[in-house]
Structure 1
Amino acid sequence: MVHVLSSRTLLRPADPERSRVFYGEQLGLAVSREFGTGPDRGTVYFLGGGHLELSGRAENPPTPAERAAAPVRLWLQVADAAAAHDELRAKGVEITRPPVKEPWGLIEMWIADPDGIPIVLVEVPADHPMRYRPGI
């Protein structure tokens, strides 16, 4: 068995500075650390129990259709999806789908980063099995 001590998601944005503005200023993620210098420096953000690293630059960024079809999505749990919706919309983030309660009980809102990577903001209601376990 592999004993994982830490993890992070790595992204190679087409425009690192544009992505830093999105993740740092618009989403408001806190910086864990930066490395290197100049416009292509790496930036690592705190992402709940993990980290998100922007480093390098995509040589041939995928087209929007390729991004939309990609199997990778960022899943970010938030305390209040409606409040996140209002805050992000006020900061100019395009909301691709407003908060909706899904059949499986989670409240999900969809956005995308500047390169089109889908991001699902998820609120877990207090009575959802991810939080509440009867008899425990």
Structure 2
Amino acid sequence: MEVLSSRVLVRPSDPERSRRFYRDVLGLAVYREFGPRADPGLVFFLGQGFLEVSGTSEGGSAGPTGIWLQVRDVHAEHERLVAAGATVTRAPREEPWGLVEMWIEDPDGVRIVLVEVPADHPLRRDQRFAAG
């Protein structure tokens, strides 16, 4: 598998408290913000990687960590991983935000999200030339 990008996902019990902690207490720089202005998801720089704090945990705690991996072709990875015996919890599908995602689990149940960024997705546009 050729991994193009990755991030660690955290689903906190109190999103605002966690956003303040990572942004204001730890002082992590914000890479991007998405979702509703009143309750945004934040992606922070972590050296060569990223940490995303978004959504809420279902059990009242942050729950298990998830891993986000950007790949070139999620459908090819799906076929390869199924053949290798990986536990696929959700087959590839295009999400409302335009990314193609599939979910797998590691042996301990940690969710790993494989993501393909389609050629026409805004993440592929050179922002230096975007209309302002």
Q: What TM-score do you get using the length of structure 1 for normalisation?
A: 0.48
Q: What TM-score do you get using the length of structure 2 for normalisation?
A: 0.49
Higher strand share: 2
